[in-house]
Structure 1
Amino acid sequence: MSEPLFIKLRKRLAVKPESIITLGDICQLFWDGRREEALARMPVYQVKPSDGNLIIIDIMQVIKQIRRVYPEAALEVQGSAHIIVEVMNPRKKASLLLVAMVWVLLFVGAGLAIMNFHTDVSMPQVHQRIYSLITGQKSKQPLWLQIPYSFGIGLGMILFFNHIFQKRINEEPSPLEVELFLYQQNLDQYYIQHENQENERTKP
């Protein structure tokens, strides 16, 4: 009995415009060495300018290509049924003026959000009360509480996002990275579902 060919589609692939996508690029293959190497070099798709930024390759396209060369091969398909290929088109250089405007907008917006939160929870009165309980005296500006608290907000944000500029503090992903990962997963599912619906509509 011949050994089956095991196929597992990768999740995502990034290629340059007008690249030729091979079976080895989009699949993990396990077979005997000689035929496995030949299959890995087999072209599956030619990226065209009309494809845009994303291409969905279905496992059925892969199986058709393999059956064309090895019609009698026993196939064992595992993993996802689709792979998303991202075409890395050249990006325009970011405008420094636009980046500065966005930075200022985010900075002011974050500052206003923190100040509004402190107003809602009456933070100045809380600090005054804590100061009065500890020292037995009243002060409208207990700076020895407010100054460390202000530095603590910044330190807390650094620890929360797990980054100091581009340097990661530890290997644990930050909540923002987890949310971006979940967002990317949902986006990929939308692309795949949308592609399937388009294919259903274009059937004769």
Structure 2
Amino acid sequence: MSSGNEILYIKGEKNTEVKEPNVTLGDILTMECSNSSIMNRIKPLRILKIPKKEQHRYVVSILKIIECIHREIPGLQIQNEGESDLIITYEGEKKRNAIWQGIKVVVVAGITFIGAAFSIMAFNNDVSVTKMFSRIYLLLTGEESNGFTLIELTYCIGLIVGILIFFNHLGRKKFTADPTPMEVEMRLYENDIQETLIEAYARKEKEVDVD
């Protein structure tokens, strides 16, 4: 059977990290073809050679990838099921420093805790929560509140429970399989960054594309 009758299905993610400077199609694509020998010929094809000295980021057009494949197997039918532009990030081998990682976690957690506490206190002050609770307590019991009553206690417990339910997280444990609001926002932010990067490379003509 000739290669002209075969169809190669390829799929590339919008952002792929690679550890080796010689980037092959097998590193950035998932492939499917009824003829396994075709995939064995395509996967080792090099699409980029990246200098090792520093971190690099490239944007590669799917047309450049198709051109690379056709140079190896002319006439092969290719069906792209993935992105039209691929971001390839080369970071090389990184040595993880457990102590430094721990310090960063503690610093970020501390900043987040202080910021969240300040926001809650500012909100409580803006809406006069203390005065409101005192009035409610006076209406219900006929006595003046000392600021440490069942109303304040249930408010604090409810605040903690509400935060846990909203963020769907307690440590590494998730209450449901749904992504958390933070994960959703991070994914949207990541998509915006990737789209901006692709547009910037295309505008500056830095994208690896066909001539």
Is TM-score (shorter-chain normalized) higher than 0.5?
Answer: yes
> Hey, what does 2:186 align to over in structure 1?
180
Between the aligned partners of 1:59 and 1:67, the Cα distance in structure 2 is 12
Does 2:83 correspond to 1:80?
A: yes
Q: CA deviation at 1:75?
A: 2.7
TM-score normalised per structure 1: 0.83
Between the aligned partners of 1:36 and 1:64, the Cα distance in structure 2 is 15
Q: CA deviation at 1:57?
A: 1.9
- The number of equivalent residue pairs is 201
Alpha-carbon deviations, 1:55-114, whole Å to 9, x = none?
222112211211111122233333311112222342674376665555444333322221
Seen in structure 2, the aligned counterparts of structure 1 residues 196 and 153 have a Cα distance that, compared at 3 Å, is same
Q: CA deviation at 1:186?
A: 0.5
Q: Which has the higher contact order (CA 8 A, sep 6+)?
A: 2
Quick check: 2:9–2:79 contact (8 Å CA) kept in 1? yes
Alpha-carbon deviations, 1:25-62, whole Å to 9, x = none?
22232322221222123222223236734222211221
Between the aligned partners of 2:75 and 2:107, the Cα distance in structure 1 is 62
Answer with 50-59 or 157-166: which moved more. 50-59
Paired-residue identity, %: 26
Seen in structure 2, the aligned counterparts of structure 1 residues 102 and 69 have a Cα distance that, compared at 3 Å, is closer
The structure 1 residue matched to 2:145, chosen from 105, 114, 139, is: 139
Between the aligned partners of 1:92 and 1:33, the Cα distance in structure 2 is 38
Does 2:49 correspond to 1:46?
A: yes
Q: CA deviation at 1:123?
A: 0.4
Between the aligned partners of 1:98 and 1:7, the Cα distance in structure 2 is 39
DSSP 3-state at the match of 1:199: coil
Q: How does 1:48-197 map to 2 (within 5 A)?
A: 48-49=51-52, 52-89=55-92, 90=94, 93=97, 94=100, 100-197=106-203
Between the aligned partners of 2:117 and 2:81, the Cα distance in structure 1 is 50
Seen in structure 2, the aligned counterparts of structure 1 residues 51 and 66 have a Cα distance that, compared at 3 Å, is farther
Aligned-partner residue type, residue 129 of structure 2: M
Provide structure 2 residue ranges, at least 5 long, that are not aligned to the other structure.
Answer: none
Quick check: 1:128–1:142 contact (8 Å CA) kept in 2? no
CA root-mean-square deviation: 2.7
TM-score normalised per structure 2: 0.81
DSSP 3-state at the match of 1:154: helix
Between the aligned partners of 1:25 and 1:101, the Cα distance in structure 2 is 35
